[in-house]
């Protein structure tokens, strides 16, 4: 299509005949038709076939026309220049009354920005949304995905980590505040001795995650480094995520707080029991949960990792409507060769060797597992001790006295036994006196299947050398069928066995029925 040979201009005439009237004048192209579909309509704009000047005062169309006017097309067929609304738009342009406001003059909003921004851009456009500390801090970040735009800001102080921490070393949580200029705090999910867990929205990946914010204390910081090391090691050994252990997504330090990222899960097993009014769960459900917990224990047992805090609160369901779970919280975990602490495990699930001051291994997690099985069935902790002395008395009340050879080795035995190895009996807060062997495990697990009872009994052995292992537990008659069902599901999901050994294959073993099954061996080899 042939275009006009002259650039249109707008002229302003100050003559009495046409005071302050804008006229658009142009030269019509020689081609018969244009692509304009506009029909002729009367307009105040007078057009002439030749470019002339109406007066000495003229303004360039590039300065006066808005983007919408600049895109209007000519219609040479009907000797008509603009669309039917052009007249009104031109009338609104009054160069005498004042300058038209450009969209660039409007103050930008955060939502209008194309992310990420540089720190320099944020300081130039949104400095009022940052406090004095953030004005300096933000310069160390190359990509900015989120700031708490328009929110009141905490005033920095010279104490408590510039005012960002409380007196316990926990980071002060404010909904909609930012973490590392990328994560938006949505809610507080939980807190513990380690710090807090918050739900955040990752503005880079566009998804919600769980962020574990560790206390700003040297001991907890060091412990978090060990947790991260173990989590990364487990993830490396379980690349296909089949061993029911939570996978770390990443970690970083923000304002002296170590932060660890995880996928968001659902409720824990304690809350699951609570939803059932502490009445306990059906054995088929317990079996599904137990097989997955054993898978997690099996993996860490192979690589000599001790969880050290296995309990219902640290086992989370992926969905409230299902039974798929993940073992979480490796904040107390350690490699067997790096055992440092003697005061470990939550009290209700603490093993006898830890209480008595004996050497401990990965088998302390199997003791905790046995306690969890009982609690899932009854709805209540099997050994609800008020303190460590009462805890040991709770255990002896059901299992009787520990073997003498264990008492001879324990470094803390004198706290709980007299010189003749008789237990020191004390009353609890309710005035109750607990005596050894006055309650039976069969009584506690009344009405359960024999296979379930036998599995729990083998978990709750005084001597950890006699305690059942995760592999043997999966091959237990009560557990094996469920283990095989779940194993087939996992293999179908991933469609291959891992060549790096991350899927632990057991050697074959001949069972009582004469068919070949997968057996056990020393998996540490």
Model pLDDT for residues 188-238, shown as the tens digit of each residue: 999 999 999 999 999 999 999 999 999 999 999 999 999 999 999 999 999
Taking the C-alpha atoms of residue 513 and residue 520, their distance in angstroms, rounded to an integer, is 17
Q: Is residue 434 part of a domain?
A: no
| Annotated catalytic residue within 165, 202, 309, 329 | 309
Q: Is residue 49 part of a domain?
A: yes
Same domain, yes or no: 195 and 288: no
Section 69-94 average pLDDT: 41
Q: Is residue 436 part of a domain?
A: no
Question: Residue 140's domain is classified under what CATH number?
Answer: 3.30.200.20
Q: Is 390 a catalytic residue?
A: no
Q: Is residue 38 part of a domain?
A: yes
Same domain, yes or no: 118 and 93: no
Same domain, yes or no: 38 and 55: yes
Work out how many domains the chain is built from and give that number. 3
Section 345-370 average pLDDT: 98
Section 326-341 average pLDDT: 95
Enclosing H/E stretch for 13 = strand 9-13
Taking the C-alpha atoms of residue 317 and residue 245, their distance in angstroms, rounded to an integer, is 11
In this structure, what token pair is assigned to residue 305? 């990792």
Give the end of a domain, one of 262, 291, 318.
Answer: 262
Q: Is residue 178 part of a domain?
A: yes
CB-based contacts of 309, cutoff 8 Å, min separation 6: 329, 331, 332, 333, 344, 345, 346
Q: What's the pLDDT at 158? A: 83
Give the end of a domain, one of 221, 247, 262.
Answer: 262
Q: What's the pLDDT at 499? A: 52
Q: What's the pLDDT at 215? A: 98
pLDDT in tens, 301-331: 999 999 999 999 999 999 999 999 999 999 9
Taking the C-alpha atoms of residue 394 and residue 382, their distance in angstroms, rounded to an integer, is 8
Q: How many CB atoms lie within 10 A of CB 163?
A: 15
Q: What's the pLDDT at 504? A: 52
Tokens 């302390």 identify what position? 364
Residue 108 binned pLDDT confidence (cut-offs 50, 70, 90)? confident
Q: What's the pLDDT at 152? A: 80
Residue 97 binned pLDDT confidence (cut-offs 50, 70, 90)? very low
Q: What's the pLDDT at 488? A: 87
Which residue intervals of 19-60 are DSSP H helices? none
pLDDT in tens, 373-383: 999 999 999 99
Higher pLDDT, 371 or 157: 371
Same domain, yes or no: 447 and 305: yes
Give the end of a domain, one of 37, 69, 100.
Answer: 100
Q: What's the pLDDT at 155? A: 84
Residue 480 binned pLDDT confidence (cut-offs 50, 70, 90)? very high
Same domain, yes or no: 365 and 470: yes
Q: Is residue 219 part of a domain?
A: yes
What values do phi and psi take at 40, rounded to 5?
-60, 145
Q: Is residue 396 part of a domain?
A: no
Section 365-391 average pLDDT: 98
CB-based contacts of 484, cutoff 8 Å, min separation 6: none
For the chain, the average pLDDT equals 82
Per-residue pLDDT for 44 more than 70? no
Same domain, yes or no: 67 and 169: no
Taking the C-alpha atoms of residue 37 and residue 45, their distance in angstroms, rounded to an integer, is 19
Same domain, yes or no: 211 and 93: no
Closest among 376, 239, 217 to 299, alpha carbons compared: 239
Percent of the chain whose predicted confidence (pLDDT) is above 70: 74
Higher pLDDT, 25 or 311: 311
Same domain, yes or no: 239 and 125: yes
Q: From its phi and psi, is residue 160 left (phi > 0), alpha (psi between -120 and 50) or beta?
A: left
Question: Residue 489's domain is classified under what CATH number?
Answer: 1.10.510.10
Per-residue pLDDT for 40 more than 60? no
Q: Is residue 185 part of a domain?
A: yes
Per-residue pLDDT for 247 more than 90? yes
Same domain, yes or no: 78 and 151: no
Same domain, yes or no: 194 and 89: no
Per-residue pLDDT for 46 more than 60? no
Q: How many CB atoms lie within 10 A of CB 467?
A: 23
Per-residue pLDDT for 507 more than 70? no
Least confident of 5-9, 469-473, 498-502: 5-9
Bridge partners of residue 202, in order along the sequence: 183, 207
Same domain, yes or no: 333 and 478: yes
Range of the domain at 14: 1-100
Same domain, yes or no: 31 and 133: no
Residue 487 binned pLDDT confidence (cut-offs 50, 70, 90)? confident
pLDDT in tens, 139-196: 999 999 999 987 787 788 888 999 999 999 999 999 999 999 999 999 999 999 999 9
Per-residue pLDDT for 71 more than 50? no
Q: What's the pLDDT at 494? A: 65
Residue 99 binned pLDDT confidence (cut-offs 50, 70, 90)? very low
What Rg value do the Cα atoms of the chain yield, rounded?
37
Per-residue pLDDT for 53 more than 60? no
Per-residue pLDDT for 103 more than 90? no
Q: What's the pLDDT at 23? A: 46
């Amino acid at each position: 299509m042939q275009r006009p040979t002259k650039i249109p201009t707008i002229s302003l005439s100050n003559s009495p005949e046409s005071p302050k009237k804008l006229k658009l004048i142009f030269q019509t192209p020689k081609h018969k038709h244009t692509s304009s579909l506009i029909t002729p309509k009367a307009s105040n704009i007078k057009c002439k076939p030749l470019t002339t000047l109406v007066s000495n005062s003229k303004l360039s169309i590039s300065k006066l026309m808005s983007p919408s006017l600049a895109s209007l097309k000519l219609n040479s067929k009907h000797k008509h220049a603009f669309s039917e609304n052009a007249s009104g738009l031109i009338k609104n342009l009054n160069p005498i009354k004042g300058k038209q406001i450009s969209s660039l003059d409007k103050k930008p909003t955060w939502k209008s920005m194309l992310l990420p921004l540089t720190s320099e851009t944020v300081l130039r456009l949104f400095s009022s949304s940052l406090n004095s500390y953030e004005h300096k801090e933000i310069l160390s970040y190359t990509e900015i995905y989120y700031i708490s735009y328009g929110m009141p800001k905490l005033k920095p102080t010279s104490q408590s980590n510039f005012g960002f921490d409380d007196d316990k070393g926990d980071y002060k949580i404010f909904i909609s505040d930012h973490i590392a200029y990328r994560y938006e705090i949505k809610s507080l999910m939980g807190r513990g001795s380690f710090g807090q867990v918050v739900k955040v929205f990752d503005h880079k990946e566009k998804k919600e995650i769980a962020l574990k914010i560790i206390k700003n204390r040297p001991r907890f910081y060091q412990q978090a480094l060990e947790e991260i090391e173990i989590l990364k090691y487990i993830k490396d050994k379980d690349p296909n995520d089949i061993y029911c252990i939570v996978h770390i997504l990443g970690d970083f330090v923000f304002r002296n707080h170590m932060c660890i990222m995880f996928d968001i899960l659902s409720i824990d097993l304690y809350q699951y029991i609570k939803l059932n009014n502490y009445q306990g769960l059906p054995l088929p459900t317990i079996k599904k949960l137990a097989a997955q917990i054993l898978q997690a224990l099996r993996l860490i047992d192979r690589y000599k990792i001790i969880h050290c805090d296995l309990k219902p609160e640290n086992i989370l369901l992926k969905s409230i409507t299902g039974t798929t779970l993940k073992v979480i919280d490796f904040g107390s975990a350690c490699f067997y060769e790096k055992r440092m602490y003697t005061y470990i495990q939550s009290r209700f699930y603490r093993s006898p060797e830890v209480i008595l001051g004996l050497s401990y291994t990965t088998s302390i997690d199997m003791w905790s597992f046995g306690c969890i099985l009982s609690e899932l069935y009854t709805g209540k902790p099997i050994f609800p001790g008020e303190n460590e002395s009462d805890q040991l008395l709770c255990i002896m009340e059901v299992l009787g006295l520990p073997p003498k050879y264990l008492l001879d080795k324990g470094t803390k035995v004198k706290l709980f036994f007299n010189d003749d190895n008789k237990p020191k009996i004390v009353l609890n807060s309710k005035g109750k006196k607990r005596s050894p062997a006055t309650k039976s495990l069969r009584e506690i697990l009344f009405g359960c299947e024999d296979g379930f009872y036998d599995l729990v009994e083998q978990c709750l052995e005084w001597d950890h050398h006699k305690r059942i292992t995760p592999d043997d537990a999966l091959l237990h008659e009560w557990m094996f069928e469920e283990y095989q069902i779940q194993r087939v599901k996992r293999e179908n999901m991933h469609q291959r066995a891992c060549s790096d050994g991350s899927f632990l294959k057991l050697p074959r073993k001949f069972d009582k029925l004469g068919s070949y099954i997968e057996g056990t061996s020393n998996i540490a080899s």
